[in-house]
A and B are shown apart, each in its own frame.
Chain A
Amino acid sequence: MRIHTFVEHPDLVGVALGTAFGVFTRVLMLRSDYRQYPAYPHGRIIHLALGLIAGALGSVAVPALFNKDYTAITFLSLAAQQFREVRNMERNTLTAIDRQELVPRGATYIEGISVVFEGRNYLAIFTAFMTSLVVTVTNGYWGSAVGLVCMLAVLRLMKGKTIKEIARVERIPVRVDGPNIYVGGIYIMNVGVGVDQQVIAEEAMGFVLTPKNGDARVTLANMGQRQAILHDVSTRLGVYRDDGEPSLLPMAKLELSTGKLGVLILPREKDPDKAMKAMSDVPLLESAVRMPTEANRTKGDVQHG
């Protein structure tokens, strides 16, 4: 009976394996990491369902092509449309949530996360397509092998860069000089109320990030990247802050002459090693990365697009 089904539907193995690998790729990429997102059960279900659709679309495309059903490929454009919608959905949700955060993520970070969510679906399609293609051309064993290779490649490719790759991270004590707060000689802010000055002197932790090259200097100067640093570190270490306490605000300021970034954070967890790790592992935002050295290398007129 079972064999009979497979003989009648020769594409079934390819489609089934392709879909399975596509979904599994999406599951692997859907880790709830320290960014705490998506940690909600329903958010996960949405992404798993979309991953299933992505996998199915990718794997079905192959038999459609083999049967000379070329118009079926246009369905992939429908999928692209669908996944752009995913990016919108993520952006809207995160922007709505951001207003209630003690330390907001900032628009740049949100944009970065949304792009990742869209991109991951395309990677699921890609894995499903490759698996299905190889199954159709050879057999299920080779197909599974290619699926595994694709999955490993995807996992490797999706590892983004972190702060420690572009900057040297140092812990520097915070200096409270009357109302003025400094981190390693970098002026951070003016806090007038004595109680808050005392809280900052006791609770605050200072970091100085020294950029390793010119490109890194421009990236660190990006406001979105700075907000992402503050948000990520505050998420991992907790934050000593409340609504209506405007002075207790984690903040990052540049030393203009050198391009160093002074970061003041108010952590709950004051373990220096954990703090150092949290700061070093902050992701570099795609839209914050600037490469002026590369841009200047282009000869002649600059061509956009």
Chain B
Amino acid sequence: MARIVAVIASERQQVAGGAPIFIADDSAELQRLANLAEKILDCNAHQLSEKVYILVDHHAVD
């Protein structure tokens, strides 16, 4: 099963929970953070909405 490694959002109200959460100030920074985190973690950045991205490790095994 895939695992959520991190959440990146520009809207603090929309996110909570167990994974590390990074808050961006605007959409440009949101994109920059998502791109960086994808390369660093080798995990896919998926866009749930304009303001929320999740980083998912598809190689994770339970």
A contact residues vs B (CB 8 Å cutoff): 178-179, 190-196, 243-247
Contact = CB atoms under 8 A, between A and B. Distances in A.
B42 A246 contact: yes
Contacts, number: 37
A243 B58 CA distance: 14
Nearest to B30: A192
A264 to B, nearest CB: 14
A27 to B, nearest CB: 41
A192 B47 contact: yes
Main secondary structure of the interface of B (DSSP, over half): mixed
A178 B43 contact: no
A177 to B, nearest CB: 11
B47 A178 contact: yes
B31 A193 contact: yes
Contacts of B34: 192-193
A193 B56 CA distance: 13
Contacts of A179: 46-47
A193 B31 CA distance: 6
B38 A246 contact: yes
Contacts of B46: 179, 190-192
A243 B38 CA distance: 12
Contacts of B53: 192
A190 B34 CA distance: 13
B12 interface: no
A246 B34 CA distance: 13
A175 B31 CA distance: 21
A136 B43 CA distance: 66
B30 to A, nearest CB: 10
B42 A247 contact: no
A192 B31 CA distance: 8
